[in-house]
Amino acid sequence: MLVIANAEAWPGFPTTVERLKSGSDSLTAMIAGISRVEAEPKVRSVGYGGWPNMLGVMECDAAVMNGDTREVGAVGAVPDTMHVAALAHAVMQRLPHVMLTGAGARRFATEVGLPVDNMLLDDSRRVWWDRLQTELSPAELEAFPDVPLAPLSRAITDPERVRDTTVFVSADRMRGIHAATSTSGWAWKYPGRLGDSPIPGAGYYADSRYGAAACTHTGEMTMRCSTAHTVVLALKLGRSLEDAVALAVEELADLSEGFLGGVVIHAVDAHGGHEVVNFRCPGEIRYWLWSDEMAEPELRPAKAA
């Protein structure tokens, strides 16, 4: 057994490990762990602790993928919902669709018994409004929100440079390799923006025959390169895990136009290997690792691309 996750998965990673130790399949174990991350206000890129969009509204994204069947459940731009990974799992289990967004996703959340949550922390609301006051004229503030938002899309950057996502990738005792993601997305994003977290092949992909990958940070890049699927396809074609991730990094590095930034790739293969590689993200990037050969989870540094 093996599971990896980004550093901000700390509130839930031990839960996932304990579920795996008790015999749970890894998809169920990962969702249990992610639910704890989503509820933790100290994690500022996921769930309750996240930052709102330009209108001050929290919109969350999530996805799950079963590598045994390649079934996917995904949700995007979901309002008023904390546990969006569980909602994505319900989409996969109960609907013929792959993805629900916006009001439709919230309606389905009610149908499956998820409560309507107040997702905006008072501190997040204060920081959001204080920044708007520095960017808009008095007349625009008086008219807000009925003002053009596109001019703000580059002027406003999130207060903690948060472009992270919670990603879990695991291989369980049944040899299933699965992936799960959850995020509140880019702070101050244009309403309705989707990143890579709910997009299969971009922010995540899993195929138990070969491996899985999931990405954090700049989803605008991984969507253009199908980064997660690139890793798994390269494994299918016989590349080593290290070479598969290097190929995905090469594709990212070839981008020269559009919004560019850093990406972290988390990947596992069907032989028990794992790679976590930091492509152009500043500072030290770390990740959680646990395998059934380890007594306790470890927080390790990612490799630099």
Strand-pairing partners, residue 52, are none
pLDDT tens for the chain, residues 1 to 305:
999 999 999 999 999 999 999 999 999 999 999 999 999 999 999 999 999 999 999 999 999 999 999 999 999 999 999 999 999 999 999 999 999 999 999 999 999 999 999 999 999 999 899 989 989 999 999 999 999 999 888 776 554 455 579 999 999 888 899 999 999 998 889 999 999 999 999 999 999 999 999 999 999 999 999 999 999 999 999 999 999 999 999 999 999 999 999 999 999 999 999 999 999 999 999 999 999 999 999 999 999 99
pLDDT digits (tens, 9 = 90+) for 263-277: 999 999 999 999 999
Going from N- to C-terminal start, the domains of the chain cover: 2-304
pLDDT digits (tens, 9 = 90+) for 133-148: 989 999 999 999 999 9
Q: How far is CA 223 from the centre of its chain?
A: 13
- Tell me the Ramachandran region of residue 263: left when phi exceeds 0, alpha when psi lies from -120 to 50, beta otherwise: beta
For residues 21 and 304, what is the distance between their CA atoms, to the nearest angstrom?
31
Using the structure block, give the residue that is written with the tokens 């990738």. Answer: 169
Q: Pseudo-torsion of CA 37, 39, 40, 43, nearest 10°? A: 60
Give the helix/strand (H/E) hosting 278.
strand 274-279
The predicted pLDDT at position 187 comes to: 86
The sheet that has 274-279: what strands, in order across it? 204-207, 211-217, 263-269, 274-279, 303-304
25 within 8 A of 176, measured Cβ to Cβ: yes
User: In the structure, how many helices (H) and strands (E) does the chain have?
Assistant: 10, 13
Give the helix/strand (H/E) hosting 72.
strand 71-78
The predicted pLDDT at position 175 comes to: 86
Q: What's the whole-number average pLDDT of the chain?
A: 95
CATH fold of the domain at 2-304: Glutamine Phosphoribosylpyrophosphate, subunit 1, domain 1 (3.60.20)
Pairing verdict, β 71-78 and 99-101: parallel
Show the tokens assigned to 251.
Answer: 């594709």
φ, ψ (nearest 5 deg) of residue 73: -125, 130
